[in-house]
Structure 1
Amino acid sequence: MLYVALQTCMHKVPTNVKERGSQWPEEWPARVQTPPYWLEKNPMGVLEKSTPTDFETDYERWKWVVSKTYISGLQIDWSNVRNVMDMRAVYGGFAAALKDLKLWVLNVVNVDSPDTLPIIYERGLFGVYHDWCESFSTYPRTYDLLHADYLFSNLKKRCKITPVIAEVDRIVRPGGKLIIRDESTTIGEIKNLLKTLHWKVHLIPSKNQERILSAKKSTWRPKTYAAPS
């Protein structure tokens, strides 16, 4: 076993006023919509723009999507939604757009994506890292709603999506909802998988080859199970 002296693991006290950790974040709720001051140190963002601009563009996009599509166009009673998981959070823009609703969002930053979790924390939001090619530890919690923005088309490059959909079915409570934005071919695959699990699926056309899938989990459970090997 390798032991490392503690002092090598400790962060140094920042000396530059623009360095992360040198200033307190904005007060809530201003912090959820304000780019962190230290983003200026990183010249390029996830969407290949300057990072503060990238942050603001992402937030404005999700405010528009949530207000124009998710709130009124997906047949979801948001008053019954208490907890949400964003399966592929970037800057946490989707969670930020829901800040006025009485719910909380767990933002999941994928392990093969840029590390944006510090930005999510700076916004005052919750978040974790995860690899969706593996199971997700949710004990003892289920979720009212899962959201995935272009998760599955990216995930298919590394693993099969069938086990991931089975994981979604496990995580969502009976009567819970799923929202997926993705390429039309991927949405078609997911729709077929969800129907085998007796989910009620609703598709909404979007721009170009993008589709939005809204689904509701039923109370169905299989009556027979495979014998243990």
Structure 2
Amino acid sequence: MDKVLTFIFIAIGVVLPARAQVYKGDCDFEKPFSSCGYTQGRDDDLDWEQFDTSEKPSLDPWMPPGAAFMMVNSTSRYAGQRALLFTPQLKENDTHCVTFQYHVSGREGGSPAHLNVYIKENNSPMGLPVWNTSGPVSTNWKPVELAISTYWPNFYQIVFEVVTSGQRGLLAIKDVVLQGHQCMNTPHFLHIKGVEVNAGQTATFHCTVNGEWKDNFNLWLQGIGVVVSSYEGDE
């Protein structure tokens, strides 16, 4: 008879890493983003805009504070429009860390856009985001630490996607830094059978055990930062 068990895994972290083939992947956006090897998406609706308020001050009250950054203006945009920003192709063995900061400006209590971060491995489709946020509006830059594990000979790109909500505002990122070591505060995300599980997210996996069920049968799971929160089965 079959025994079907359902396990819920909870990961405790989120993050990204790397060095690169030609570019390292860091970008402070003080120089043209293309000099960092970054590119705009081709199959999207909007472009990211590059600003440096230390060179060109702005009177826009929603303009993020600080110097250089990339941003998407959601004003006068329909809900669901997308803007993609790609890092160069990166290649690094083992688990490493990436940090960046993001800022959301707009009407108080509003959420003008969603920010998704993807890992596009070996030119594959983007799949599910490894990290995302939908705001809300904030007066400060918020730091993000992400981790990723890649193994030779794989390579990947980090993709920053902004999806507009139909509300007025701005969403910006700055100071992308790829570190050659594991994250100090956040463990790397779990990657199980193509499913990426990050902080605050859950995933459900179904396992089938064949044979005669015994009361003293135990199924052990091995992993890091994994919690078996429940199982269920019928004889």
- TM-score where L is the length of structure 2: 0.23
Give the structure with the higher percent helix.
1
More RCO (CA 8 Å, sep 6+): 2
**TM-score scaled to structure 1, two decimals?**
0.23
More strand by share: 2
